Chains A and B, each alone.
Chain A
C-alpha cells in the first residue's frame, strides 16, 4: 500500500523526478565507467607483471634477494623442480640463472640483468616469447643467442643480428666476457623491464661460467590465483631453508597499488554520491513543501506520523534506485562493450609504458562493486530523506490543511 502510494507520488511531478533520476543515472554512469577504467588498469598491471616475469611463486636461496650474487644458488634445483611438478594445478615451472652484469655494444655499455633460461620451460611460465617484435625466440640451435628489450636495443644502438658483449664476474672472481648475437627483440608494457632484462640460453651461460647446472630462481605459474595461495603455504613449509615468495611479496608495491586503486575508487564514488545527496534532498524538500496540505489531510484522517515518515523514505529510496538502476545498466553495457574491444590510447603509449601499463585499456568492474554501489545509494537516499521527512511529520494537521 505504502509502496504504491510512494511510487505514484514520484510520478506526480514527472519533470522534477526525471531531473534527479537523470542526475543519479549520469553521475553513476560516468563514475562507474571511470572506475572500471582505473580498475582495469590496476588489474592489467598485476597480470602483466605476473605474465612478464614474476610468475605466481618464486623460490630463491635465502641470501639471493639482498645480495644477488652468483654464488647465491639454490642447492639441487632439478630435484626441487621435479618435486614441485608433482603438485596439483601447476601450469608451468622453470629454473633460471640470474646474473647482474654489463652489456656492451660497439659504442656503449649498460648495466643488465642477464637471465639464463630454458626457452621451452620458460614459455610455460612467462609470455616473453609472445612479445617478440623483431627476430625470433630461440628458434634455431646456434650458440650464444640473446634476446634483448626494445628500449635496451635503442639505448645500445643495436639491431637484430648485432653483436653484444656481456661481462660479469665468474665464480673465481675474474671477469668473464662473452659475445652474443641478438636474435630477437622483445617489447613489454614496461620500459623499465625492457631496459635491463636480457635472455640467453641457460647452457650458454653455464659453459661461459665453466659450471655444472645451477639455478638462482625457480618461477612457478599456477592455473589460478587461489591455487597459488595454497601451494605457497605448502612450499613454504616444505623448503624452510629457501626463500619462497608469492608475487605479492615479490612486488609489494603492486599489491598495495591494487589496494590503493580500490580505496581511491570507493572515495571517488563516495564523493559523487555525496554530491548527489544535495540534489536529492532539494528535490524531496520541494516535493514535501508542495504537498503540505495533502500531508495535513492524511494525518487528519488518521495516518500515523510514522507511516508518513516511511512513505517519504520509500519515495526517496525508490526515486534514487530508479536512477541508480538506469545508471548501472548503462554503465555495465558500456563496460562490457569496451571491455571486449578495448580503448586504444597508443598516442599516449610512452607515458603508459613508463608506468608499466598497456596502452590499450580494458575497463572491467567486479560484480561486488555494483552491490556496494546499490547499498551506498540506499544509504545516501535515506540520509537525504531525513530532513524533508522530519519537516513533513512536524506539520500540524490543523494548520496544514489550511495551507494552499
Chain B
C-alpha cells in the first residue's frame, strides 16, 4: 500500500503548478464554506438565544391553551415545590416566572398600548440583565408597588420617574383592571419593539392589579446545553402530567421550537439558502478538479500502456489514480481547515460589531447589530465529506479510462 501512496504522491508533483492550482481552488472553497457556515450558525444561535431569553425560554410551562390564546384565563397556579422539582432536573440552569398581559398605559392625555410583564426581579435580572438596562430610577424589588417603563415608551408618554400612570386592562375572569401606579425606573432596550412597548411590574403587584392572586402565565426554563433539549423536555413533561391534588389546572409544556415555529422556519429557509449557495460553489470547484484529473489521465496514456504491458494489474492502477485525486482535493481541505480554524476561533470570541446604515436596519428588524460566529466539529466534517465526494466522483474518470485501455495501442500512443 505504501508504494501506491508514494507513487500517487510523486505523480502529483510531476506538474507542480497544475496540482497547486487545483488544490488552491479546493482550499478557496473550503475556507469560504467554513467562514460562511460559521457565520450562519453563529447568527442562528444568537437569534435563538436572544429569543429564548427575552420571550420564551428553551422550555416553557404554561396553562393549557395559553400559548394559543394568550389570555389571563389560561394562566396557572404553580406551587414552589413544583418549581423546585423543575430546578432539580439535571441540565436546567434557571427557571423564570412571568405574568404577561397587554394593557393600556395612560399619563395625562396620552395613552399607549404596552406589554405589561410581571417578573421576579432577581431571577429576571439573572436571565436578561434587566438591571443593567436601567437608565434612571431604581430597579424593582420582590414586591415593589411601582412600574418600570421602557425608555421609548416613557418618552412617547411624556412621563418620567416620580409620575404616576394609569394601567387599564382586562384582569382575570374579565374583571376590569385599573390602577394608578408610580413610575420608579426607566429601562432602555436596543430593539425598538421592546423599547417602545415593554413595562415591568413585580409579580405580586401584577397579580393584585389584574385580580389573579397566585397566578402566573408562564414558567420559562433555561438549560445548559441545547443538545439535551428533548431529554429535559420529557422530564419536565412527566413532572407536569402527574395529576395534582390541590389544583385542577392543566399544564402545557412546550420547547422553543414549538413556541416559535416562525423562528425555526426562518432559520431553516436561511440555512437552506446558504447550503444551496455553497452547493453551487462546490459544483464549480468539482468541474475544476475533474478537468485537472482528466488532463492528468490524458497525458499519461503511453505510461499507462507500458505499466499494464509490463504486468501491473489494472485494479492497482485504479488505486493509484484514485489516491491522486484524493490527495489533490485533500491538500486543499487540510490547508483550508488549518487556516480557517484560528480565524474562526478569533471571530467566535470577537463578534464583528456592525455600524452605520446596516446596523440601523438590523436593529429595525429586531436584532442587535453584531455578527456572531460559531464553531462546531460538524462544519469541518461537512466540508471533508463534500470534497471527498468530489474526489471520488472525479476519480471515476481515470478508472473508466484505464478499464477501456488497450495496452497495445496505448504504448504506441
* Contact status A110-B24, CB under 8 Å: no
Closest residue of chain B to A273 (Cβ to Cβ) is B284
Is A210 an interface residue when CB atoms closer than 8 A count as contact?
A: no
* Contact status B269-A281, CB under 8 Å: no
Is A61 an interface residue when CB atoms closer than 8 A count as contact?
A: no
Contacts of B156 in A (CB 8 A): 66-68
- How far is B156's CA from A386's CA once the two chains are assembled, in angstroms? 63
Is B104 an interface residue when CB atoms closer than 8 A count as contact?
A: yes
Q: Which of B18, B69, B109 contacts A282 (CB 8 A)?
A: B18
- How far is B18's CA from A71's CA once the two chains are assembled, in angstroms? 75
Is A179 an interface residue when CB atoms closer than 8 A count as contact?
A: no
* Contact status A354-B113, CB under 8 Å: no
Stretch in contact with the other chain, from B130-138, B307-315, B355-363, B402-410: B355-363
- How far is B110's CA from A71's CA once the two chains are assembled, in angstroms? 10
The interface bits of chain A over 279-318 (1 if a CB of B lies within 8 angstroms of the residue's CB, else 0) are 1011101100110000000000000000000000000000
Is B295 an interface residue when CB atoms closer than 8 A count as contact?
A: yes
Contacts of A67 in B (CB 8 A): 110, 156
Contacts A107-B69, A169-B106, A275-B284 given; indicate if A253 touches B364 (C-beta within 8 A).
yes
* Contact status A22-B287, CB under 8 Å: yes
Contacts of B281 in A (CB 8 A): 271-272, 275
Contacts of B292 in A (CB 8 A): 282
Is B28 an interface residue when CB atoms closer than 8 A count as contact?
A: yes
Is A235 an interface residue when CB atoms closer than 8 A count as contact?
A: no
Contacts of A373 in B (CB 8 A): none
* Contact status B287-A23, CB under 8 Å: yes
The interface bits of chain B over 309-330 (1 if a CB of A lies within 8 angstroms of the residue's CB, else 0) are 0000000000000000000000
Is A11 an interface residue when CB atoms closer than 8 A count as contact?
A: no
Closest residue of chain A to B286 (Cβ to Cβ) is A23
CB distance from B367 to the nearest CB of A (A): 11
Q: Which of B15, B101, B168, B265 contacts A350 (CB 8 A)?
A: B265
Closest residue of chain B to A25 (Cβ to Cβ) is B287
* Contact status B21-A175, CB under 8 Å: no
Which A91-116 residues have a C-beta within 8 angstroms of B? 100-102, 104, 106-112
Closest residue of chain A to B178 (Cβ to Cβ) is A175
Is A330 an interface residue when CB atoms closer than 8 A count as contact?
A: no
Contacts A252-B360, A350-B261 given; indicate if A279 touches B110 (C-beta within 8 A).
no
- How far is B70's CA from A107's CA once the two chains are assembled, in angstroms? 9
- How far is B170's CA from A167's CA once the two chains are assembled, in angstroms? 11
Contacts A257-B361, A268-B277, A286-B295 given; indicate if A108 touches B69 (C-beta within 8 A).
yes
Closest residue of chain B to A350 (Cβ to Cβ) is B265
Is B182 an interface residue when CB atoms closer than 8 A count as contact?
A: no
Contacts A27-B287, A111-B197 given; indicate if A278 touches B268 (C-beta within 8 A).
no
Q: Which of A66, A260, A351 contacts B358 (CB 8 A)?
A: A260
* Contact status A111-B262, CB under 8 Å: no
* Contact status B111-A169, CB under 8 Å: yes
Contacts of B269 in A (CB 8 A): 348, 351-352, 355
* Contact status A271-B365, CB under 8 Å: no
Contacts A19-B291, A169-B109 given; indicate if A27 touches B262 (C-beta within 8 A).
no
Is B290 an interface residue when CB atoms closer than 8 A count as contact?
A: yes
Is A198 an interface residue when CB atoms closer than 8 A count as contact?
A: no
Closest residue of chain B to A111 (Cβ to Cβ) is B113
Is A15 an interface residue when CB atoms closer than 8 A count as contact?
A: yes
* Contact status A274-B112, CB under 8 Å: no
Contacts of A253 in B (CB 8 A): 360-361, 364-365
* Contact status B113-A108, CB under 8 Å: no
Closest residue of chain A to B28 (Cβ to Cβ) is A275
Is B201 an interface residue when CB atoms closer than 8 A count as contact?
A: no
Contacts of A23 in B (CB 8 A): 284, 287-288, 291
- How far is B193's CA from A253's CA once the two chains are assembled, in angstroms? 15
Is B17 an interface residue when CB atoms closer than 8 A count as contact?
A: yes
Which B273-311 residues have a C-beta within 8 angstroms of A? 273, 276-277, 279-281, 283-285, 287-288, 290-292, 294-295, 298-299
Contacts A108-B71, A260-B358, A272-B281 given; indicate if A350 touches B262 (C-beta within 8 A).
yes
Is B264 an interface residue when CB atoms closer than 8 A count as contact?
A: yes
- How far is B72's CA from A122's CA once the two chains are assembled, in angstroms? 36
* Contact status B284-A256, CB under 8 Å: no
Residue from the set B15, B21, B72, B273 with the largest chain A CB neighbour count within 10 Å: B21
Is B32 an interface residue when CB atoms closer than 8 A count as contact?
A: yes
- How far is B272's CA from A352's CA once the two chains are assembled, in angstroms? 13
Which B338-358 residues have a C-beta within 8 angstroms of A? 357-358
**Chain B contact residues, CB within 8 Å of chain A:** 15, 17-18, 21-22, 24-25, 28-29, 32, 68-73, 101-104, 106, 108-115, 156, 168-170, 174, 197, 261-269, 273, 276-277, 279-281, 283-285, 287-288, 290-292, 294-295, 298-299, 357-358, 360-361, 364-365
22 A-B contacts (beta carbon < 8 Å): A19-B287, A23-B284, A34-B277, A100-B111, A106-B174, A107-B73, A108-B72, A109-B169, A112-B113, A154-B68, A169-B109, A173-B106, A252-B364, A253-B361, A275-B25, A278-B24, A279-B291, A282-B291, A283-B291, A286-B18, A350-B262, A353-B262
13 new A-B contacts, CB < 8 A, other than A23-B288, A157-B68, are A15-B298, A16-B298, A19-B290, A19-B291, A23-B287, A108-B69, A109-B169, A110-B102, A167-B168, A275-B28, A275-B281, A278-B25, A355-B269
**Chain A contact residues, CB within 8 Å of chain B:** 15-16, 19-20, 22-23, 26-27, 30-31, 34, 38, 66-69, 71, 100-102, 104, 106-112, 154-155, 157, 167-169, 173, 175, 191, 252-253, 256-257, 260, 268, 271-272, 274-276, 278-279, 281-283, 285-286, 289-290, 348, 350-355
